[in-house]
Structure 1
Amino acid sequence: MLIAVATYNEIDNLPIFVERLADTLPQVDLLVIDDGSPDGTGDWCDQEAKVNPQIHCLHRRGKPGLGSAIIAAMQYAVENQYELMVNLDADLSHPPEMIPELLQAWEENDPATTVVIGSRYIQGGGIKGWPWKRHMMSRAINLYTRWLLWLPMADCSGSFRAYPVKLLKRIDFDSFLSQGYSFFEEILFHLQREGAKFVEVPFTFVERQHGASKISLKKAMVAVATIFRLGLKVWCKI
């Protein structure tokens, strides 16, 4: 199994994340995709990888986008023949201690086709530390996505997920419209077309304590436009 995290300026969070992950799942591999963090996140990862063969670092120049970072992780998982890839954020908003619950849900269903979603919006899930405007924006984008793309899950926009690599092998990543935050909606769109089944596991999202959120209004509007373009494919039967 591969755990994947995309990083940009997470030097205050990544060491804590790695320690908590090791305490929870000491045998898993970790892939860090770092987009040239000026705060030394990538350098720290390289040093850790020298003493821990389970840690792998992928360095990218510039900031080509969060979605493209997760695509790189998925391609890495396919090329290295992992069975499952779990994606979550390195800023500790997604608790590594919850990963075993995602694994259990995956194992209890069809492992070849089941995508497990860490969900903030089903009973037992929640969010801590957000202002009301961000709550409203997140709720709105989920409603908008479910209606446009006919997706069945309550949480379409979160990144805390477990993906079977057999399903990822079927995806044409060159066809993706999104390189940014709308990737998380778009990958569900493509997976559903490939026959994926979706299971949601509740968890509580906790807003980051260190560093700054990377999302902005401009990025949010780009995501809305991209989801609309995907919606045209659904409604026009493309």
Structure 2
Amino acid sequence: MSKRPDGAVLVVIPTYNERDNVAEILRRLLDAVPAAHALVVDDASPDGTGELADALAAEDERVHVLHRAGKTGLGAAYVAGFDWALEREYTAIIEMDADGSHAPEDLPRLIGMLGPNGTGADVVLGSRYVTGGRTVNWPWYRALLSRGANVYSKLALGVSINDITSGFRVYRSEVLRTLRLHDVASQGYCFQVDLAWRAVEAGYVVVEAPITFVEREHGASKMDAEVVREALVRVTKWGLRRRGNQAVGLARSLLR
């Protein structure tokens, strides 16, 4: 197994047609956390994002690029990036969007919350929906959809997380090493719900930290009707399974 380069923190940044954003987000990231490394996971972007990322990597040894053959979903891109990170033994692995919605300047605070010297957290979620968190420049329907999805997931899954769909998060590598990533079938933004719920179910400490989420200035959102449909179907199925398991457990305790 190959060892990681210098630096124990890796930020995984999936890209598809993010040429207008990737250079700036990498600059801000490496200014905010100079010891971190960044991995751009590009899904064969037709706008040349991958080629630009290669040029940036040639100029800075902290930048790495993983090219994939095509666009097969956010979840698959993250799993590929996580595999790359775990093979190189990074100790903290971060998810972050390339479009500027997530402020790299928040990362020192989020990373500092990992245990044992921080709050003892295993996973830190950058949250829009805790005290101090907010969104900027979102159209009302996006805000309503996001709020609704988070409330529904929280109730269906019985978790205390307010922003379980957040794509800005920090993991201790042990969490990703033990969650059986290749069993995660979710491909859209439901991937975020899936991993956070698995972490809670496995007994890991998941905490939320307030962030300001800013709507992208360049490019188009990857959110579409199919992403929403997948999330609704999967969360409903998980919630029903959870309720069923609770009912079985209750019945067994009554029969003892």
The AA in structure 1 aligned to 2:18 is E
> What is the CA-CA distance between 1:232 and the residue it aligns to?
2.9
1:109 maps onto 2:119 in alignment: yes
> What is the CA-CA distance between 1:228 and the residue it aligns to?
1.7
Contact 1:186 1:230 in 2 (8 A): no
Q: CA RMSD in A?
A: 1.3
Instruction: Look up the match of 2:88.
Output: 80
Instruction: Look up the match of 2:77.
Output: 69
Contact 1:12 1:211 in 2 (8 A): yes
SS in 1 for 2:93: strand
Structure 2: how far apart are the matches of 1:21 and 1:131? 27
- Give the length in aligned residue pairs: 236
Instruction: Look up the match of 1:131.
Output: 139
Contact 1:177 1:226 in 2 (8 A): no
Structure 2: how far apart are the matches of 1:93 and 1:183? 18
1:122 maps onto 2:130 in alignment: yes
Structure 2: how far apart are the matches of 1:174 and 1:217? 25
Query: In the TM superposition, what are the counterparts of 1:176-195 in structure 2 within 5 Å?
Result: 176-195=184-203
> What is the CA-CA distance between 1:174 and the residue it aligns to?
2.6
Deviation string, structure 1 residues 34-76 (Cα, Å, up to 9, x no partner) = 1011111100111121222211111112211001111112222
- Gaps of at least 5 residues in structure 1 are none
**Which consecutive aligned stretches of 4+ in structure 1 deviate over 6 angstroms post-superposition?**
none
Instruction: Look up the match of 2:149.
Output: 141
Structure 1: how far apart are the matches of 2:90 and 2:244? 36
- Gaps of at least 5 residues in structure 2 are 1-8, 247-256
Contact 1:142 1:157 in 2 (8 A): yes
1:57 maps onto 2:61 in alignment: no
Instruction: Look up the match of 1:173.
Output: 181
> What is the CA-CA distance between 1:11 and the residue it aligns to?
0.6
Structure having the higher Rg: 2
TM-score w.r.t. the length of structure 2 is 0.89
Structure 2: how far apart are the matches of 1:151 and 1:61? 36
User: Percent identity among equivalent residues?
Assistant: 38
Q: Which moved more, 1:61-70 or 1:170-179?
A: 170-179
